[in-house]
Structure 1
């Protein structure tokens, strides 16, 4: 059981590293969206991401409802991060 727990802990560290990488891309999106005239929150993109995640989860044998729940939380956090970055840089339309 100890070895299995160590493997799970390693996977958790890898997941954290991937989330950090994803957050860096969110930061870059917050820099690029204003020039493209885009707000932080784009409903169609949110649903596209959720649909992609559900399909990937189904294909991998993971509960798609669980994946959607996790990603909706992650997406909400990401949008809030983008909005904050856009507001701090004085970019108009960050609240749209």
Structure 2
């Protein structure tokens, strides 16, 4: 059991590092989108990401409904992060 737990901990560490890396790209998107007149949430992009995750989950024998639920939560968090980082409307003058 200790070996299994150590491997789970190792994978958890990798997942956290990947999520932190993803957050960095979210921050970059928050810098770019306002200049392009884009909102934080782009529904078509959300659905595109979710569909890609579902396909990948199925290919990896992971429950696609679980993957979708996790990613929708991650996407919601990411959009909220972007919105917090967007410049205030009055700052753009």
TM-score grouping bracket, smaller chain normalisation:
over 0.9
Per-residue deviation, residues 19-59 of structure 1 (Å, max 9, x unmatched): 00000000000000011110001100100000000000011
Query: Aligned residue for 2:27?
Result: 27
Per-residue deviation, residues 41-83 of structure 1 (Å, max 9, x unmatched): 1100100000000000011111000000000000000000000
TM-score by length of structure 2 reads 0.93
User: Following TM superposition, by how much is the alpha carbon of 1:90 offset from its aligned partner in structure 2, in angstroms?
Assistant: 1.9
TM-score by length of structure 1 reads 0.90
Where does structure 1 lack aligned partners over 5 or more consecutive residues?
Answer: none
Query: Aligned residue for 1:69?
Result: 69
Provide the alpha-carbon RMSD of the alignment.
1.0
CA distance in 1, matches of 2:49, 2:6: 31
1:16 is aligned to 2:20: no
CA distance in 2, matches of 1:67, 1:91: 35
Per-residue deviation, residues 4-30 of structure 1 (Å, max 9, x unmatched): 100100100000000000000000000
CA distance in 2, matches of 1:35, 1:91: 12
Contact residue 23 and residue 78 of structure 1 kept, 8 A: yes
Query: Aligned residue for 1:90?
Result: 88
1:45 is aligned to 2:68: no
